[in-house]
Structures are given as C-alpha cells and as structure tokens.
Amino acid sequence: MKFQTGKALTELRQFVLIVVAVLAARVVIAEPYYVPSGSMEPTLAIGDDLITSKFAYGYSRYSMLFGWGPASETRLFQKLPERGDVIVFRLPRDPEQNYVKRVIGLPGDRLQVIGGRLWINDQQLPVREDGVGQMEYSDGNSMPLPRFIETLPNGKEHPIFKMRNDGPMNDTDVYVVPPGHLFMMGDNRDNSLDSRVAPEMGGVGYVPVENLVGRAEFILGSWDFPVTKQPIWTWLSGVRFNRFLSRIS
C-alpha cells in the first residue's frame, strides 16, 4: 500500500509540474489565438490559429493568465513595437476581448486617410497593385477584391484589401497618437473596425501599450470552419494545409 501511495504521489507531482510548465510557457513564451473574423485578410484568414510571442514587447498584466496583475502605464522589459507588426491585444473598451490588428502608428505619429490612401506624418504611403484576392465571410461565402501592397515609412511591406476610396473610413480627420499608445488598423481596410473608429462607435480607438498581449509570429494551423455545416466525412477538406506554420509578416 505504501508503494502504491508513493507512486501515486510521484505521478501527481509530475502532472502538477507539467501543468505549471505549460502555464508558465503561456505566460512567458508563447500563446495560441484563434482568428474569428476577416478584418486582417488577406494576411490572416478566418479559422487561422496563431502563435504569439509573449516576450516581444515585455510584460504587463495582460501577459498574465486572465489579465491578473496590477495596472501600469509601462511594461516590464518594455520594448515598443515596430510599424507593421501584427499584434494580439486586449480591446481597450472591453479587456475581456482579444483583437488582432497591425501596428500602423507609434506614439506621436500623425495619421490620416484621404481618398482611401493612408498618410503618416504628412507623407502618403506608397501603394502598388497586387492582383485580386478572395475575401472570405464567416458563412463560407467569398468575393473577389483588389489586392495591394502598402509600404510603411520603415520600409516594411504588407498586403491589404481595398474595395472603395470613399466613405467615412476613407476620409478621416487627423489622428495624433498619444504617448504610451498605438494606432492599429486591419489589412482588410474597408471591413475593419480599428483605431479609425472611436470606442463609443464600436471601434478600437488608440490602444495603450499595456494592452498588448504578444506579437503574432506564425500560423500554427488553419481550418475552414463553415465546412462543419457539411457532412462530417467532408470536414477534412476544410483543413488548409498550405497555411500551416506560415510566417506572419
């Protein structure tokens, strides 16, 4: 009986150590996130599972599980993101929600959208055509959209979808990013409630650096979710093997 009890305690101790190691890794190193919307298409697709690096920008309470920890305007080992980084963050108006967008503006930047074209610090960003892509909806439908490559002031390039050049999202006032905050935008420019839209209007607004969770590094896996509405024997066809382990840029 003593032998069995000792063995059980050993196994329990090993199990607890494994759980602690996994939780510690999620806090310190990396954490997975699921993409439920198309606001970051064509970079991210609905159904992508992302791996984020938790150490890229240092640590805040939102690096912890469940957001436990004291509020602070700075982060432990803080490092500001670069323009063009794709980031998972806690929504300022509702920190229970995780969002993923691209960093476009840093503290002190002046941003404006004029006729669908983005300006940063009084300079219009270069854009070139990049064919046509398919914008997917959560119900499984899709539609073709013009695809472009936008170049940020630091030289980083990324794809965007753009279907129109008019409307309130495409002709904005000047945004001045406050200290300790970031300006986020979705790559699906006409289908993203981001920092262009005030929180009281359902948007994101400026994002405090405290709210950053981690930098999206690569796509762990991807699954076309609407295929589950089909017979179960067809579900395997929804796995997007070509997106597995794709680097996010």
Catalytic residues: 39, 101
State the CB neighbour count (10 A cutoff) for residue 36. 13
CA gap 107, 177 in Å, rounded? 5
The enclosing H or E element of 50 equals strand 48-53
Residue 201 to residue 55: CA distance in whole angstroms: 32
In angstroms, how far is CA 27 from the centroid of its own chain? 17
Q: Computed over its alpha carbons, how large is the radius of gyration of the chain?
A: 21
Residue 146 to residue 79: CA distance in whole angstroms: 35
Amino acid identity for residue 29 in this structure: I
What residue type is assigned to position 50 of the chain? L
